[in-house]
Structure 1
Amino acid sequence: MSAKIVKMEELAKDIFCYEVETPLIANKAKAGQFVILRIHQKGERIPLTIADFDREKGTITMVFQVLGKTTLLLSRLRENDHILNILGPQGNPSEIKDFGHVAVVGGGVGIAAIHPILKALKEKNNKITSIIGYRSKELVFWEDKIKAQSHEVLVYTNDGSYGKVGLVTDGLKEVISREKIDRVIAVGPLVMMDAVTKVTKEYNIPTIVSLNSLMVCGMGMCGACRVTINGKIKFTCMDGPEFNAFAVDFDELKKRLNSYKEEEKICYKKELEKC
């Protein structure tokens, strides 16, 4: 099905937010799920996490960063334009219940992905500490939305231009040192989720990560999104996207994510040169 863009906004440098009209997906969407979209007939299929949904309006919200050809093309669409194909909701929803005190860690555009998870956790009366990280001040977005769903928010930037200087793992260690954490959920760059897992494993705190592996079909048929979990092959699109962090083979996944880096750079450069 196609989807009409009803609202678009550039949240920060090269970070865009689109609200799209897709009633069937909005009606079934849950925290932690994603969609797969295609912009034109010959375009690639890319997954984007559902950052919010409104069942009454029949819309879902997606946030993405321009990193390659397809996200560049997507960023050029405007209100009232249509996304050619959108499939979803895909993946298993987040496990939501009263865990107690949950530390939710978000990095980069992963901060948008934790938003619906925070809302769902809050509805179950969890105490929520959110730890969010950006590279710099110019990339800060949705801090207000995260604060609205959290009891405490710690903000970090790599260069110290906003909030505290440092990494989200610094904030996580700080929180762990002063109070009991019953569960950690991390969404963001793979290197960040790996680092978070190394911290929580030391304290044996149950940890969930949402994986961003390569994806093509989104239906468990092509095998592009395969990951190794506890030594067994799983598919992010069907078995995930969330997994027990301690079971993930992060080193293997890092190698797989780098498989087409050079080709991606070439395609992105060629598209930029058309402008």
Structure 2
Amino acid sequence: MYKILKAEKLAANIYLMDVEAPRVARHCEPGQFVIVKMDEKGERIPLTICDYDREAGTITIVFQPVGASTTKMTEMKAGDYFRDFTGPLGCPSEFIHEDLEELKKKKILFVGGGVGAAPVYPQVKWMKEHGIDVDVIIGSKTKDLLILEDQMEAAAGNYYPCTDDGSYGHAGMVTTKIEQLVEEGNKYDVCIAIGPMIMMKFVCLLTKKLEIPTVVSMNPIMVDGTGMCGACRLIVGGEVKFACVDGPEFDGHLVDFDNAMKRQQMYKTQEGRAMLKLQEGDTHHGGCGQCGGEN
């Protein structure tokens, strides 16, 4: 059992929890995720690690209710327990393995959209802890939906909030802010974009034109989180990858976003899952209990 130490509402429909999970906190790195279950019969819910405290043994998760299980999660409070809290899962961000002195020479841009600010934060925080200032763009529809602003401002070298309605910060999409920064003379060695797939797609279209290598964190539907079920199947550079074990981070200029978004919609229905199994053949995988697979 994993105790919830803090539960709060960050913004409309966005929630944060600190969970006591010492083993996960000891081993996790920026870029990884966990899978939680509320009770024995509960759905497995994948959530990116927003922050961690190794000494306190805690993991911070941020989520947005989109279905019955995550809606039920919003009712949980400090003192309640998760039945399962599995992790860390996925591969850590590649930059943590880079030579630190070489990394310090790079100009890095982080771009987050909506709840994507949560997985951006631990990476920006890691950079700050290692003496690296980075630029951070975070976008949302309105000012009220921006999250973790104080933390982001403290960790980023330069923090640029954007709102679609122009109520705060840069008026417009994150892509127009990227263009503005480049036009002002900023030369980025790498961009790391995390958010809705449609946002990451258009960021990648722009950065490819600007010749800025870009890493994205893919968040397709996941079921088991260990590579068995095939729910998070992606096409990257013409090859089949699985976000839970090969990612979640990939070269954004190689990701087939149109395929990923179409597949995500189809996977939500039984008929769609059957069609995906037929279309994808041996690369589909099975064993998730949703597609009738036996592998």
**Count of residue pairs brought into register by the alignment:** 262
Equivalent-residue separation in structure 2 for 1:144 and 1:171 (angstroms): 20
Question: Does the alignment pair 1:147 with 2:153?
Answer: yes
Deviation at 1:224, TM superposition (A): 0.8
Match for 2:236: what amino acid?
I
- Alignment partners' CA distance in 2, 1:7 and 1:124: 28
Provide the secondary structure at the position in 2 that maps to 1:48.
Answer: strand
Output the TM-score relative to the length of structure 1: 0.92
Of structures 1 and 2, the one with the larger relative CO (CA 8 A, separation 6+) is 1
Equivalent residue for 1:15?
Answer: 14
Q: Equivalent pairs: percent with the same residue?
A: 45
User: What is the distance in 1 between the residues matched to 2:135 and 2:256?
Assistant: 27
- SS of the residue 1:109 aligns to: helix
Q: Specify which of 177, 180, 183 is matched with residue 187 of structure 2.
A: 180
**Greater mean deviation of Cα atoms: 157-166 or 216-225:** 157-166
Tell me how far 1:256 sits from its aligned partner: 1.5
Q: Distance in 1 between matches of 2:255 and 2:267?
A: 21
**2: CA distance between counterparts of 1:94 and 1:82?**
29
Q: 1: CA distance between counterparts of 2:166 and 2:235?
A: 36
Aligned equivalents of 2:180, 2:132: Cα separation in 1: 19
- After alignment, is 96-105 or 4-13 more displaced? 96-105
5+ long unaligned stretches in structure 2:
271-295
Residue 94 of structure 2 is matched in structure 1 by 95
Q: Does structure 2 conserve the Cα–Cα contact (< 8 Å) formed by 1:102 and 1:126?
A: no
- State which structure, 1 or 2, has the greater radius of gyration over its C-alpha atoms: 2
- Candidates 121, 132, 136, aligned match of 1:130: 136
Deviation at 1:87, TM superposition (A): 0.7
Structure 1 Cα separation of the partners of residues 259 and 212 of structure 2: 23
Compute the displacement of 1:152 (Å).
Answer: 0.8
C-alpha displacement of 1:243: 0.2
Aligned-partner residue type, residue 217 of structure 2: S
Residue identity in the other structure for 1:197: C
Instruction: Please give the per-residue CA displacement for 1:174-226, whole angstroms capped at 9, x wherever unaligned.
Output: 11222110110000000000010001000221100000011111111111111
Structure 1, unpaired ranges of 5+: 264-275
Range that drifts further, 253-262 or 229-238? 253-262
Distance 1:127 1:101, change over 3 A: farther
Match of 1:225 among 215, 229, 232: 232
Of the structure 1 ranges 157-166 and 213-222, higher mean CA displacement relative to structure 2 is found in 157-166
Give the SS at the match of 1:36. Answer: strand
The CA RMSD measured in Å over matched residues stands at: 1.4
Contact 1:132 1:154 (C-alpha < 8 Å) held by counterparts: yes
| Aligned counterparts of 1:201 and 1:125: Cα–Cα separation in 2 | 28
Over residues 32-67 of structure 1, what are the superposed CA-to-partner deviations in whole Å (9 max), with x where a residue is unaligned? 000011112222211100000001110000001122
Q: CA deviation at 1:119?
A: 1.4
Picking from 203, 207, 212, the partner of 1:205 is 212
Which residue of 1 is the match for residue 4 of structure 2? 5
Once the 2 structures are TM-superposed, how far is the Cα of residue 260 of structure 1 from its aligned partner?
4.8
Match of 1:259?
266
Equivalent pair of 1:103/1:183 in contact (CA under 8 Å): yes
Find the aligned partners of 1:112 and 1:70 in 2 and give their Cα distance: 20
Q: What residue is the counterpart of 1:267 in the other structure?
A: none
Amino acid at match of 1:95: E
Question: How far is 1:128 from its partner?
Answer: 0.6
Aligned to 2:203: 196
1:85-143 alpha-carbon deviations (Å, 9 max, x no partner) = 11100000002241511010001111011011001223343331100001112212211
Counterpart for residue 214 of structure 1 = 221
The CA distance in 2 between the partners of 1:203 and 1:31, in whole Å, is 26
User: What is the distance in 1 between the residues matched to 2:250 and 2:165?
Assistant: 30
SS state at 2:159 partner: strand
TM-score, normalised relative to structure 2: 0.86
Q: CA–CA distance in 2 between the matches of 1:183 and 1:210?
A: 14
Structure 1 residue identity aligned to 2:190? R
Letter in 1 for 2:71: L
